[in-house]
Amino acid sequence: MFQVNEQQFRACNIFEGAKPETISELCAAAQPVFYRKNQQIIEQNDRSTDFHLIVSGTVRAKGLSPEGKEVTYGDIGPGSLFGEFAALDNDPRSSGVIAVDDVHALKMSSTMLRSVVENDGKVALELLLSLVEKSRKQTERIYEFSVFAVRQRIQQELLRLAHLTSANVKIPGEKITIEIPTHQELANRLSTHREAITRELRHLAAKGYVETGKHCLHILDIKGLTQYAGSLSAE
């Protein structure tokens, strides 16, 4: 098992500016853990309250409706926390979490998180900003689900995966390659079905905006795709 060290915490925005004594406490309290690809880490609605800091690998937050419909909330990568909601409020888990690939993480108790928040103002502020960012992203998603048609949601998700907005585009003609989940995972994320994902990707390919590769997508004209998505949104 890997060793716990200060750099693992400093790589996380929330702990980057923490006091030296805070980092020492975290290092002493952290339990290094390893999860294999596709392993269930947290079950939806369970009463555990530990939280994790991801050192390497990616996890995926998922929910399951009473009817058995799977919903994907998003992926969480290295340098990020997961499980902090329950660690803060002691309520049941709002979503399940699985390992997308092999994951190394640091597992800590809710007591540790609460203690750090109470005693280190910098950590408390950064955690608050992180929660605000997550809330803003969820608000954005709610707006898209309420206003956009399925094809528009797919296009917005592609732009989001490429970390792009209409105000921050690459040079026209420059190819951008992004890793994408399976069509079914994208469908779960966008509350639609796999066939709609496949159909829209073919449509975008026919228009010359994208080209599909193995486990990836090449965006051939990011400015054009951004403008196309914007024109549909304005309709």
pTM comes to: 0.79
Residue 4's pLDDT is: 96
pLDDT recorded at residue 90: 94
The one-letter code for the residue type at 28 is A
The CB density around residue 89, as the number of other CB atoms within 10 Å, is 11
According to the model, what pLDDT value does residue 214 have?
A: 80
DSSP state of 168: B
pLDDT tier at 87, thresholds 50, 70, 90: very high
pLDDT in tens, 156-193: 889 888 775 434 444 555 678 888 778 888 888 888 89
Q: Whole-angstrom Cα distance, residue 101 to residue 51?
A: 19
Residue 54, helix vs strand vs coil: strand
Of 95-99, 185-189, 197-201, where does mean pLDDT reach its minimum? 185-189
The reported pLDDT for the residue numbered 166 is 37
| Mean pLDDT score, 52-79 | 90
Model pLDDT, residue 179: 81
Q: In order of start, what are the domains of the chain with their CATH numbers?
A: 6-139 (2.60.120.10), 148-233 (1.10.10.10)
Residue 234's pLDDT is 52
Indicate whether 40 pLDDT > 50: yes
The answer for residues whose C-beta is within 8 angstroms of residue 52's C-beta and 6 or more apart is 33, 41, 81, 82, 83, 105, 106, 107, 108
Q: Could you give the percent of the chain with pLDDT greater than 90? A: 61
Mutual angle of helices 183-190 and 194-206, in 10-degree steps: 110
